[in-house]
Amino acid sequence: MGATPATVVEAGTHARVKGIFVASLGNLIEWYDVYAYSAFALYFAGSFSPEKSQERQQLFAALVFAVGFVARPLGALLFGSLADRFGRRTTLMLSILLMCFGSLLIAVTPTVQTIGAAAPIILTLARILQGMSQGGEYGTSIAYIVETAEPGRRGFYSGIVNAVTIGGQLCAMLVLLVLQKLFLTTDQLKDWGWRIPFVIGALLSVVTLYMRRDMAEPDLFTAAKRTTRGMGSLGRLVAEWRAVLLIVGLTVGGASAFYTYTSYMQKFLKLSVGLTDDQTTAVAAGSLLFAIVIHPLYGALSDRIGRKPLLLGFGIVGGLGTYPLLTTLKATPEPFVACLLVCLAWAVVTFYSAVSAIVQAEMFPTSVRASGIAVAHALTVVIFGSTTDYVALSFKSSGREDFYFIYASALILISLVFYIALPDSKATSRLDQPA
């Protein structure tokens, strides 16, 4: 009763920051689990594939990785609809619980040498469960974060969304580095040590589930639910088909670039550049740490100058610079120089990834924001993001790895067309529009 206005504002700010942190933490765990699969595939691929060739084993692991993403649109539609209809908090709890189960399933599955064909089938099922969870987590967490953030700092928090996403991969890399350097030999990692990160992921999911139990719903969602009928309905989502298609166009190049420098980069550094296991992990981890630092800075910049200038910067520099950068990186045996080149790539890719979340959120009203973001993003990523490893490794296997460099550049240039035509979403935002 004796609270001052300053005390009330401070309490409100504390609750807001706490809610954003908890929502982001769940996103980190989701992506930790996904990238744990990618990072440790070099060790467990032989446990699920009967192939003798390392490249063919990696192709199999990459294919299962991509299959998991096929389930993302289904998870996006299911969890996104739940989030728009019943609330962000409940949906975020369900999505992290499903990810926990998927990770635990990978951790306990016997190898192909033990149970035969059942092993790759169970692995694929686990990745499908993870993909469904990830599809729902992405749109719901973005909706929660931008609806909770102060209007003038939404770009900054958008940058944090993907910084946390990258943080999930960095955590997976650090787990790998610690196991490699301090505890296990290469043979032990291939035999049973690859299971450890998935056990860690399952345990962290339980912690996140506990932390999410008392999250408050964003005021924008609460107000929209009071005034809008048909929250989360399929009809409302279909009516937003133009926004969905626009996000697909905006995301094509960004998804390809983002997955090139996250899930595929470790394999590229080892199999194409020729770095050792330790060097590969160190270069990948160092460049990811750099990316984490600059994402919120780029997002904050978009709060000042708008989203479109950053998207144009990515489209132009990324479209023209991807081929020469990857070609130079491939011919660079020095780890420090390789790390600088990957950091340079992140300095360009972040023009897109730092604002992608807020741009998508600003295109939908509150009534279908979670499902709209989730479905549009999932449809694009399943085609142009999840297949990155498989496409790149296929070109390498055929002896024409440079074709992948051309492919990645072309996708960015396609998105550049959309960036040019797009009005700045900061000026045309629908974030405060209930329906």
Confidence of residue 435 (pLDDT cuts 50, 70, 90): low
* pLDDT score of 6: 37
399: left (phi over 0), alpha (psi -120 to 50) or beta: left
Q: Summarize pLDDT for 357-371 with one digit per residue, the tens.
A: 889 888 888 888 888
- Kindly tell me the burial class for residue 52, based on how many C-beta atoms sit within 10 Å of its own C-beta (0-12, 13-18, 19 or more): exposed
pLDDT top residue among 96 and 9: 96
Q: Where are the beta strands (DSSP E) in 223-354?
A: none
CB 155, CB 302: distance < 8 Å: yes
Mean pLDDT, residues 144-166 taken together:
85
Average pLDDT, the chain: 84
Top mean-pLDDT range of 13-22, 314-323, 414-423: 314-323
Confidence of residue 11 (pLDDT cuts 50, 70, 90): very low
DSSP code string of 76-124 = HHHHHHHHHHH-HHHHHHHHHHHHHHHHHHHHHPPPHHHHTTHHHHHHH
* pLDDT score of 323: 94
CATH fold group of domain 10-421: Growth Hormone; Chain: A; (1.20.1250)
Confidence of residue 325 (pLDDT cuts 50, 70, 90): very high
Confidence of residue 9 (pLDDT cuts 50, 70, 90): very low
The encoded tokens of residue 91 equal: 């949906």
Residue bearing tokens 């999410």: 212
Across 48-52, 338-342, 362-366, least confident range: 48-52
Neighbours of 343 (CB within 10 A): 18
Mean pLDDT, residues 243-249 taken together:
88
CB 371, CB 73: distance < 8 Å: no
Half-sphere exposure of 133 (CA within 13 A, CB side): 28
Q: Residue 86: pLDDT above 60?
A: yes
Query: What is the chain's alpha carbon radius of gyration, rounded to the nearest angstrom?
Result: 21
Q: Residue 1: pLDDT above 60?
A: no
Mean pLDDT, residues 371-392 taken together:
83
Mean pLDDT, residues 344-348 taken together:
95
Mean pLDDT, residues 66-85 taken together:
84
Q: Taking the CA atoms of 279, 281, 287 and 290 in sequence, report the sign of the dihedral they define.
A: negative
Mean pLDDT, residues 334-360 taken together:
92
* pLDDT score of 370: 86
CB 375, CB 72: distance < 8 Å: no
Q: Residue 23: pLDDT above 60?
A: yes
Residue among 31, 48, 1, 84 at smallest CA distance from 373: 84
The encoded tokens of residue 20 equal: 């954003």
* pLDDT score of 432: 66
The span from the CA of 420 to the CA of 422, in Å, is 6
Q: Summarize pLDDT for 100-138 with one digit per residue, the tens.
A: 888 899 898 888 778 878 888 888 899 899 888 888 888
* pLDDT score of 349: 94
Q: Summarize pLDDT for 157-193 with one digit per residue, the tens.
A: 888 888 888 888 888 878 888 888 888 888 888 888 8
Domain layout of the chain by residue ranges? 10-421
Q: Summarize pLDDT for 268-282 with one digit per residue, the tens.
A: 888 888 888 788 888
* pLDDT score of 57: 77
* pLDDT score of 208: 85
Across 1-5, 33-37, 158-162, least confident range: 1-5
CB 37, CB 263: distance < 8 Å: no
pLDDT top residue among 363 and 313: 313
Q: What is the pTM of this model?
A: 0.83
